[in-house]
Amino acid sequence: MAKRKLILDTTESMSRIGFRHGFKLLSRFYKEYAHSLRGKLLGIWCLHVLFAAGLVVPPYLVKEVIDRGIATKNISLIWSLAGAIMGTFVLVAVVDKIRSFWGHILAQRIAYNLRNDLYSHLQRMSFKFYDNTSTGELLSRMVDDLSVVQDVLYHGPQNIIGNGCMLLFAGILIFTLNWKLALASLAVLPAIFLIDYRIFLTMFKSARKVRKAMALFAGRIEENFSGMRIIQSFVREKHEMRRFERENRQHYQSRIGVIRSMSWIFPASISILGVSLAIALGYGSFQVVAGVMTVGTLTAFVMYLQRFMSPMVELSRMGESVVRFLAGIERYFEYMDNHPDVKDSSKAVGIADTKGEIQFEEVWFRYDKDTVLKGINFLVHPGETLALVGPSGSGKTTITRLIPRFYEPYRGRVLLDGKNIADLKLHPLRSQIGMVMQNDFLFSENLLNNIAYGRLDSSEEEIMEAARKANVHGFAQELPQAYDTEIGERGVKLSEGQAQRISIARAILRDPPILILDEATSSVDSETEILIQEALDRLKEGKTCIVIAHRLSTVLRADRILFIENGQVIEEGNHQQLLERGGRYAHFYNLQFNNLD
């Protein structure tokens, strides 16, 4: 008894949350994505009505053939009615062709808008969002969820309007033909409603689980393929196979819930249809024998009854698609409602050319719970080079990420030329800053386009010039198709030193007044090192530069060094001053740099 009560509770709450929520989702979807196409949609929906209307004509013509044509042996009437049946089917076929073509085009159009909007929205999301969302999940929402939505966008209205009208027309006709027989045959209807209702509710719950499991699974697939080189080099294939298998199983099991519910729909409905037809034929034949009804009317009645019941089955099956559609748009709006946490404030102003003075004023920052920067203060004058030095995890990269506002401090201010960057527009601010980070992202395009990414409107000569300055030109000449050579996904076909020089070339082309450099920690051969150093020197000329330093040569050249430890500036000065002080920097220097350069 207790268990039964529990099931009822779940079902009741599902119906409350499920239907109201589903309706809300649908009306929001209509308002945002379908309203502007309402004229065209209405046209297609009228064609669905016409299609259903066309299909209810033939049984009436069959009745006429039997009752008037055959009964009176009127051959010409029989032929004309047969011709009319054929004509009706041709008309129905033409209507179907038009509705199917334009209906699919409209569905594609809406899905195209959905994808564009989602992509444009996701592009504005901050680093924090991407820290917490896997690429696989994003892919699953962009591709998988939206293809379900697109599919149902056409088949949903086609099924609901087409079958709904068929249900209505056939219902009216069976009652018109013989209302007593209609009432007797449809006595089983409540059973269909009850069964479908229960199945629908369980399916909605399962469909949500499927969407979630699918996103997790897609995340695993993406991560494993991206990390296949690591998997193979650590010989972790078996371990990964086990993890993959576990998530694949979860994905498979989540689908079973939907399949289990769905597999009941057809058998339940078809059995009920069987009962209904048996009643119609039994009771109907009795009426024909009694002379109350003609054979033609009984034949038409049975045909209409089938046309009445089969849309019921189709509509129940449609429940599954509607449920998947709702789960898809629910997840879509979940993303769209997730607003970027770094954006232009209402009073944000643009900036043109900056002098390049950067100041941190009592800056505190945390990614999650732990505070990573604890009251950072410093000032970099225009044209100065500031080196950040300190143990790994001390907060150096985090400091550089606050300057382009990839993240925002929870206390304190970052100033550019004396203006709080929180009051500046994001795009102009970021245009003033060039970043050359370790393992910068390269696109799976050719070399030329990868450099041109620094400034999209640059001419080929400018790109070549940047490539020369960044010492890219030498190795580019040796590649099979020089600058047209495809460099593979994320630049896998290049060496680390080559990839670094491409990102320097990009920054040279961009020519921003402020530069943020993260020196590579892994060592390259000394010849490459010289080439990179030369490229960097050309890039840094006349610019304000903040560099996360890992090399002695860099700290020696820096105007000033900040020694960062545990999110705080512990010491500040140039290399000589800091060495003479004999503090934390001097200790770190002896461990880290002394024997390296």
Judged by CB under 6 A, the stretch of 227-235, 304-312, 390-398, 528-536 that binds ligand ADP is 390-398
Q: Is 158 or 398 the residue whose CB approaches ligand ADP more closely?
A: 398
Q: Would you put residue 560 in left (φ > 0), alpha (ψ -120 to 50) or beta?
A: beta
Based on the shown chain and the rule CB under 6 A, indicate whether residue 226 belongs to the binding site for ligand ADP.
Answer: no
Based on the shown chain and the rule CB under 6 A, indicate whether residue 527 belongs to the binding site for ligand ADP.
Answer: no
Note the residue count of the chain: 597
Based on the shown chain and the rule CB under 6 A, indicate whether residue 131 belongs to the binding site for ligand ADP.
Answer: yes
AA letter at 283:
Y
Least distance to ligand ADP, CB of residue 494, Å:
24
Complete DSSP assignment for 121-145: HHHH--HHHHHSS-HHHHHIIIIII
Q: Is 261 or 398 the residue whose CB approaches ligand ADP more closely?
A: 398
Based on the shown chain and the rule CB under 6 A, indicate whether residue 367 belongs to the binding site for ligand ADP.
Answer: yes
Q: Of 103, 395, 512, 513, which one interacts with ligand ADP (CB under 6 A)?
A: 395
Q: Angle of helix 460-469 relative to helix 526-540, nearest 10 degrees?
A: 120
Judged by CB under 6 A, the stretch of 51-59, 60-68, 111-119, 366-374 that binds ligand ADP is 366-374
| Interface size with ligand ADP, residues (CB under 6 A) | 12
Q: Of 140, 158, 385, 398, which one interacts with ligand ADP (CB under 6 A)?
A: 398
Q: Any idea which residue has 């590649």 for tokens?
A: 479
Least distance to ligand ADP, CB of residue 463, Å:
31
Q: Is 316 or 398 the residue whose CB approaches ligand ADP more closely?
A: 398
Q: Are strands 358-366 and 433-436 parallel, antiparallel or unpaired?
A: unpaired
Q: Is 369 or 427 the residue whose CB approaches ligand ADP more closely?
A: 369
Binding to ligand ADP (CB under 6 A) within 454-513 occurs at none
Beta bridge partners of 358: 380, 416
Least distance to ligand ADP, CB of residue 401, Å:
7
Strands (E), 432-478: 433-436
Q: Of 88, 163, 287, 394, which one interacts with ligand ADP (CB under 6 A)?
A: 394
Based on the shown chain and the rule CB under 6 A, indicate whether residue 393 belongs to the binding site for ligand ADP.
Answer: yes
Q: Are strands 419-420 and 411-416 parallel, antiparallel or unpaired?
A: antiparallel
Residues 303 and 59 sit within 8 Å (Cβ to Cβ): yes
C-alpha to C-alpha distance for 261 and 253, rounded to whole angstroms? 13
Based on the shown chain and the rule CB under 6 A, indicate whether residue 397 belongs to the binding site for ligand ADP.
Answer: yes
Q: Is 475 or 585 the residue whose CB approaches ligand ADP more closely?
A: 585
Least distance to ligand ADP, CB of residue 363, Å:
13
What the block records as the tokens of 496 is: 């680390």
Based on the shown chain and the rule CB under 6 A, indicate whether residue 264 belongs to the binding site for ligand ADP.
Answer: no
C-alpha to C-alpha distance for 359 and 402, rounded to whole angstroms? 11
C-alpha to C-alpha distance for 85 and 87, rounded to whole angstroms? 5
Least distance to ligand ADP, CB of residue 367, Å:
3
Q: Which residues contact 506 (CB under 8 A, 6 or more apart)?
A: 436, 440, 450, 451, 453, 454, 466
- Chain centroid to CA 99: how far? 29
Q: Is 497 or 567 the residue whose CB approaches ligand ADP more closely?
A: 567
Based on the shown chain and the rule CB under 6 A, indicate whether residue 364 belongs to the binding site for ligand ADP.
Answer: no
C-alpha to C-alpha distance for 447 and 481, rounded to whole angstroms? 10
Based on the shown chain and the rule CB under 6 A, indicate whether residue 163 belongs to the binding site for ligand ADP.
Answer: no
Based on the shown chain and the rule CB under 6 A, indicate whether residue 130 belongs to the binding site for ligand ADP.
Answer: no
Task: Tell me how far CA of residue 521 lies from CA of 369, 437, 500, 594, in angstroms.
Answer: 28, 11, 12, 15
Q: 3-state SS string over 376-437?
A: EEEEECCCCEEEEECCCCCCHHHHHHHCCCCCCCCEEEEEECCEEHHHECHHHHHHCEEEEC
Q: Is 298 or 435 the residue whose CB approaches ligand ADP more closely?
A: 435
Judged by CB under 6 A, the stretch of 9-17, 213-221, 392-400, 471-479 that binds ligand ADP is 392-400
Q: Is 392 or 526 the residue whose CB approaches ligand ADP more closely?
A: 392
Least distance to ligand ADP, CB of residue 393, Å:
4
Judged by CB under 6 A, the stretch of 4-12, 365-373, 377-385, 508-516 that binds ligand ADP is 365-373
Judged by CB under 6 A, the stretch of 196-204, 268-276, 394-402, 539-547 that binds ligand ADP is 394-402
Task: Tell me how far CA of residue 177 lies from CA of 60, 170, 251, in angstroms.
Answer: 10, 10, 51
Q: Is 395 or 491 the residue whose CB approaches ligand ADP more closely?
A: 395
C-alpha to C-alpha distance for 449 and 456, rounded to whole angstroms? 9
Judged by CB under 6 A, the stretch of 387-395, 432-440, 521-529, 552-560 that binds ligand ADP is 387-395
Least distance to ligand ADP, CB of residue 7, Å:
43
C-alpha to C-alpha distance for 464 and 505, rounded to whole angstroms? 9
Least distance to ligand ADP, CB of residue 372, Å:
4
Q: Is 130 or 179 the residue whose CB approaches ligand ADP more closely?
A: 130
What the block records as the tokens of 508 is: 């040279």
Q: Of 63, 307, 331, 396, which one interacts with ligand ADP (CB under 6 A)?
A: 396
C-alpha to C-alpha distance for 444 and 167, rounded to whole angstroms? 54
C-alpha to C-alpha distance for 135 and 220, rounded to whole angstroms? 9
Judged by CB under 6 A, the stretch of 337-345, 393-401, 410-418, 469-477 that binds ligand ADP is 393-401
Q: Is 131 or 460 the residue whose CB approaches ligand ADP more closely?
A: 131
Q: Which residues contact 70 (CB under 8 A, 6 or more apart)?
A: 78
Cα Dmax for the chain: 122
User: Rg (Cα) of the chain, in Å, rounded?
Assistant: 35
Least distance to ligand ADP, CB of residue 141, Å:
21
Judged by CB under 6 A, the stretch of 239-247, 259-267, 316-324, 385-393 that binds ligand ADP is 385-393
Based on the shown chain and the rule CB under 6 A, indicate whether residue 368 belongs to the binding site for ligand ADP.
Answer: yes
Residues 438 and 355 sit within 8 Å (Cβ to Cβ): no
Give the interface with ligand ADP as residue ranges (CB under 6 A): 131, 367-368, 372, 390, 392-398
